[in-house]
Amino acid sequence: MAEKAQTNPPAPGDNRPSLSLHVPEPKFRPGDAADFSHIDIGEAGKQPRPDETCDPSEMRDLAYGLIRVLGDDNRAHGPWDPKLDAETLRNMLRHFATVRAFDERMFRGQRQGKTSFYMKCTGEEATSIATSMALASDDMVFPSYRQQGVLIVRGYPMIEMINQIYSNKGDKLKGRQLPIMYSSREHSFFTISGNLATQTPQAVGWAMASAIKGDSRIAATWVGEGSTAEGDFHSACTFATVYNAPVILNVINNQWAISSFSGFAGAERTTFAARALGYGLAGLRVDGNDPLACYAAEQWAANRARANAGPTLIEFFTYRAEGHSTSDDPSGYRSATEREEWPLGDPVNRLKNHLIELGEWDEDRQAAMDLEAAETVKKTTKEAEANGILGHGLHHPFRTMFEDVFEELPWHLKEQAEQAVHERKTKFPNGLPNEGKGA
C-alpha cells in the first residue's frame, strides 16, 4: 500500500522542496488478503542467551531479533529452553484452558446483558500465564487490562473475578471499578487502572521502595505497545535505569491499539524492545505466542533484577486475535484473514502440540481438559450470578459509595451522604424495583 503523505505547495518564489508528513497506514485493511511474509521470525533456538548480569550494550541484537524456543517440529530448541518438566507444562496448559473458557463465558455474559463490558486475551495468553509462572508468587505485579491469566495462575478465586465483572453485591471492590479492573493485595496484584501506562511508573516506584528496604521482592508490569507512546512509560524507563530498579517492563505488542495499528506508536521505525537501548536498559524481543520463550525471558529478567543487575524491558511480539473489547468490531479496520495468517500461530495449540510431541499429552486429554474448564467456569458463573448481575438491583448498599476513602468521613461528605440517602428514600420509599439490598 502506498505511503500516505500530507503536502502543501511551496510559497510563491520559494524554490525549496516541500516538506511532507508521514501518516502510518497498516498494510491490510478490510477486504485485503493478509500476508505476513515481511516479518522475519527467525529460527527457533538461534538467539543467544547472555549472562543475566551482562551489560545492556551487549544485548543490541536481542532487541531486534526474536527469541524463540518452540520450532515447527513442536520441540524446544536452543539456549533459551527453560527445560520445564512435563507436569509444569501441563499445569500451564490447564491455566490456558481455564482462561480461554473464562473469556468465552464472560464474553457471552456481556452479550446477554449481564455486564457492561469485557476484554478477552485470546492469542495473548502466554504473555501473562507463562510470564507470571516465571515470577515468585509474592512478586508485585502491575498489570494492564488483559492479564486475567496472572490472577488465574496465582489462585485468585474465580468467583471474585466474576463478582467484580458483574459489580454485584459480592464485588469486593463495591462497584467502584470498571469490569475486569481487578485488585488483590493478598495476591500482590496492584489495582488495574483504565488510565493508560500509569502502572509503569508505579511499578518502578514500588521496585525502588523494595530495594530501599532491602527486601527480596521484585516488580513486574504489563503495558500494551500503544501505551508506550504515553509519557508515563518514558518516565518509568528513566527512573528504572537511573536507580537500577528491580523491575520488569513487559510490553505486549499485539499489533493493534483498539483500531490504531502499532505504527502509530512507532513500530514502523524500530522494535519496541529497541527503546530499551536508548535508556540503558536490558532489552529482549520475544515470540509472544511461544509459551516456553515467554517463560524463559521473564525468568531471565527476574533473575537479573534479583541479582541487582538492573531492570529489563521485554517486548512480546504477539497478535490480538479478538476485538479490543466487547465495544469493538475489528472487522471495521483490519483484514479478516489476519488471525489465520499470523505466522506465530496460537500459543495454546503450540504448547499442546509440544506436550504431544514429548509423549506427555494427547487430543483426548486435551478435549477432557477443555470440557472440565468450561464446566468449572459455568458452575462458578452460576454461583456469582446469585449475587446479582447488571441492572438487577443486587448490589452494595447505596450508602457504601461514601465509605472506604477516608479513615474518618469529613463533615461535608457526611452531610452529602445523609442528603443523598434521604433523597433516594423519598423518591423510592419502597426501594428500587427488583432491588435486593436497600440503602
* Residue 100 forms part of a structural domain: yes
pLDDT digits (tens, 9 = 90+) for 113-136: 999 999 999 999 999 999 999 999
The proportion of the chain whose per-residue pLDDT surpasses 70, expressed as a percent, equals 95
Quickly state the pLDDT bin for 5 (edges 50, 70, 90).
low
pLDDT digits (tens, 9 = 90+) for 137-185: 999 999 999 999 999 999 999 999 999 999 999 999 999 999 999 999 9
Q: In terms of Cα–Cα distance, which of 261, 269, 291 is closest to 91?
A: 291
When mean pLDDT is compared across 75-79, 278-282, 405-409, the lowest value belongs to: 405-409
* Residue 436 forms part of a structural domain: no
pLDDT digits (tens, 9 = 90+) for 196-218: 999 999 999 999 999 999 999 99
Report the sign of the C-alpha dihedral through residues 270, 273, 275, 276, in that order.
negative
For residue 208, list its beta bridge partners.
none
Spatial strand order of the sheet with 140-142 comes to 140-142, 219-224, 247-253, 312-317, 282-287
Section 402-423 average pLDDT: 89
**pLDDT given at position 432:** 64
Residues 154 and 241 in one domain: yes
Q: Where are the beta strands (DSSP E) in 46-197?
A: 140-142
DSSP 108-150: HHHHTTSSS-----TT-HHHHHHHHHTS-TTSEEE--TT-HHH
Residues 336 and 402 in one domain: no
Entry field: residues in the chain: 439
DSSP 313-361: EEEEE----S-SSTT--GGGTS-TTHHHH-TT--HHHHHHHHHHHTTS-
Section 394-411 average pLDDT: 85
Cα-Cα-Cα-Cα dihedral of 381, 88, 255, 222, to 10°? 80
* Residue 35 forms part of a structural domain: no
* Residue 216 forms part of a structural domain: yes
Residues 150 and 219 in one domain: yes
Section 337-366 average pLDDT: 97
Give φ, ψ of 142 to 5 degrees.
-120, 90
Section 364-393 average pLDDT: 96
What is d(CA 240, CA 246) in angstroms, rounded to the nearest whole number? 8
Asked if residue 218 lies in contact with residue 203, where contact means CB atoms within 8 angstroms, the answer is no
Section 62-84 average pLDDT: 98
* Residue 265 forms part of a structural domain: yes
Domain that holds residue 421: 398-427
Domain count, the chain: 2
* Residue 310 forms part of a structural domain: yes
